[in-house]
Each structure stands twice: as structure tokens, then as C-alpha cells.
Amino acid sequence: MQLFIQDSSFFALHASDADGRVNSSDTSLYAEAPRHYLDIDDYPNFHNLPHSLDTLIALYGWERVKDNGTLPWATMWNMDSLVNQLRRGDWTRAYLTASDIGHYAGDAHQPLHNTWNYNPGGLHSRYESTMLSPTYYLSQLYIVPDSVHYVSSRINFIFDYILHSNSVVDTVIHGDTYAKAISGWNGSGTAPAAYYTALWDYTRVMTLDQMQRATETLASLWYTAWVDAGLILPTGVEAPPLTRAMEFSLAQNYPNPCNPTTTISYTLPVGGTVFLKVFALDGREVATLVSENQSAGRQQVVFDASRLASGAYVYRLQLGGFAQTKKLLLLK
């Protein structure tokens, strides 16, 4: 998972992509909008709700199931996609799918995404967006480093954390009542700062716990996908030393300066589609040395620069969302 760890900024940038795909005119069961919530307590005996989407549709009809949300199954669909994308080295799609899984895991840990009573008196945005904005308490959020674990039953795991989120819905609602009483705000117009201070005081412990749980959930889902794709061994199994030591790296070309040929070596921790290109210092691409699927391990290519003018150039190696660049000098 080192590539995911190294490219955390990519996931931050694409964390809200799923929101951008919401289309209110799409009323199908597989639309984007229902993927962001599960009104689980709208179903009778919801603590024992069938986990099979087909069974649920047979019991309650697809329209009710769609209206109540498809969050657990959307997470499952994306996990299946991520495993297959990792397995075939489709890093571009894998990064985007992993971002979507992060979004759905985050939604599943927002209590008001897991109840039919999701927006009493406009509380949804006050709690989820405004209270946790830079204006108020975003800077108070923190995550304690912890260990991932392999998820043997994904659907059960997903329903477990959704049920936990549903169990703390009352904390948010009671916090709203408390904050109104403390601040004197009657719910009309814009809530004052005193309201958000009181709401944070009341919900702080629960909110921090949910954020911690969401982070651990996402890390474990990603880890599970990498294991199921055969890219890493599950915890507790000793990996071969070569595999463990292998990292994404681009070596300095040799010889450097060169005239006119030089060798470029690099190491891939996993297989995938690899691009190795050479650019002039003004950004123009002057050569494509590699554009193909390659296996994990050490690779090298000989670059013949005989058609280029003397001068400095840069060469760039890319595998999925991770890249390295180095400079070479051509002297004829």
C-alpha cells in the first residue's frame, strides 16, 4: 500500500468526486445520490436487516430500497472494482475508485447519513459542515495512528459500522437541543457562534471517535483490496525479503553526461502501466521510452539521444499516481 500512502494528497483532492456525480434527474437504483446514505432505521427490525440487496428488494421493492439508500452495496461494488483494477495494474482507475471508497466510508460514519431523521430543523449541515469547518472546529480533529486489519466479510463489516453510526444519531440530536438552550438560538436564521461552541462541547467525544473509526475503516478496506488483489500478504505472513525491500525508485542515468546513449534503470514495487518520458527544459516531450504494462521488479531501458541537440533534459517515470523525475545531460 506504499503507493497509496505516498499519494495521500491525490485522495484529498478527489475525496469529493462522488458528490460531483450526483444527478437529481437520475432516479435509477444505481444512481449516485442513494450511494451516500442508508436510512437503515426506516426498515422494521433493522438490526437484523438482510444484507443481500436482492433479498431486500424482494421484501420491500426497489423504490423503497433506492429511497432508503444503497451505501453498503455501493461500497461493495467499488471494493470489487478496486481489487480487479489493482490486480491488472490499472492504477489510474484504482486511485479514483479508492477515493470513492473513502467518500462512502466517510458518509457511513456521519451519523445523520444513517437514519431516516437525517435533517431535523436543518441540523445536517450545521453538524456535518459548519461545525467542522475552518471557521469553527475543523482544526480540533485529529487521528491516532493505529493498525489495519483484513476484512474477511466485507458486507458484515460495512453493516456493523453503519449500525454503530446509527446508534449515535441521538447524540447529535440531543446536542442540537442542548446547543439551542445554551446559546438561546430558537432555530430561526443563522446560528450564532455560541450555538456551535455548545454543539461541539456536547458532541466532541463522539465526533472524534467517529472520525477515528472512519479512518481505520478506510485503511482496512484499502488493505483488504491490496491483499485480495495479491499485491501484499496479509498481516502475520512473512513476505520474501526482496518483495519487502522493493520500492518505487528511479535511478540516475548512466553514463551522465552521455553521448549519445545512456541507460535508465528503475524499480517497480508492483506491476502496472508504466510511462517513461523525456522532456526538454521548456516542458516539450521529446521522447517516449516506455509506455506499456510491466511486472514488478528492476527494469532498464537504453535511451538513444542521437537526434537531440546537446543540453539538459529531464526524464520522468510514472506508475499510477506516483512519479519521479531526474535530469540528464547530453554532450555531443
Q: Could you tell me the pTM of the whole model?
A: 0.71
In sequence order, which residues have a C-beta less than 8 Å from that of residue 277 and are 6 or more positions away?
285, 287, 288, 289, 315, 316
Looking at the chain, the domain(s) classified CATH 1.10.575.10 span: 2-228
Q: What's phi and psi for 192, nearest 5 deg?
A: -80, 170
Pairing relationship of beta strands 311-319 and 272-280 according to DSSP bridges: antiparallel
DSSP 258: B
- What DSSP letter does each residue of 186-232 carry, written as one string? -SSSSPPHHHHHHHHHHHHHHHHHHHHHHHHHHHHHHHHHHHHTTSS
> Is residue 89 over pLDDT 70?
yes
Give yes or no for a contact between 132 and 141, defined as CB atoms under 8 angstroms apart. Answer: yes
d(CA 154, CA 192) in angstroms, rounded, equals 42
In sequence order, which residues have a C-beta less than 8 Å from that of residue 221 and are 6 or more positions away?
75, 79, 101, 105, 151, 154
Looking at the chain, the domain(s) classified CATH 2.60.40.1930 span: 242-330
| Architecture, CATH, for domain 2-228 | Orthogonal Bundle (1.10)
pLDDT in tens, 210-264: 999 999 999 999 999 998 988 876 654 433 333 333 567 899 999 999 999 999 9
> Is residue 286 over pLDDT 60?
yes
Lowest mean pLDDT among 113-117, 142-146, 151-155, 245-249: 245-249
Sign of CA dihedral 218, 223, 226, 231: positive
Give yes or no for a contact between 290 and 315, defined as CB atoms under 8 angstroms apart. Answer: no
Of the candidates 222, 329, 189, 318, the one whose C-alpha atom is nearest the C-alpha of residue 1 is 222
Lowest mean pLDDT among 59-63, 286-290, 322-326: 322-326
Of the candidates 125, 118, 126, 74, the one whose C-alpha atom is nearest the C-alpha of residue 100 is 74
188-212 per-residue burial string, b: 16 or more CB within 10 A, e: under 16: eeebeeebbbbbbebbeeebeebbb
Give yes or no for a contact between 102 and 15, defined as CB atoms under 8 angstroms apart. Answer: yes
For residue 110, CA distances in Å to 38, 99, 163, 166, 227 come to: 11, 17, 11, 9, 27
- Confidence (pLDDT) at 221: 96
- Confidence (pLDDT) at 322: 66
- Confidence (pLDDT) at 34: 96
3-state SS assignment for residue 325? strand
Q: Count the neighbouring beta carbons within 10 Å of the beta carbon of residue 229.
A: 18
DSSP 233: P
3-state SS assignment for residue 80? helix
99-118 per-residue burial string, b: 16 or more CB within 10 A, e: under 16: bbbbbbbbbbbbbbbbbeeb
Fold that domain 242-330 belongs to in CATH: Immunoglobulin-like (2.60.40)
> What is the pLDDT of the chain when averaged over all its residues?
90
Give yes or no for a contact between 292 and 274, defined as CB atoms under 8 angstroms apart. Answer: yes
pLDDT in tens, 162-200: 999 999 999 999 999 999 999 999 999 999 999 999 999
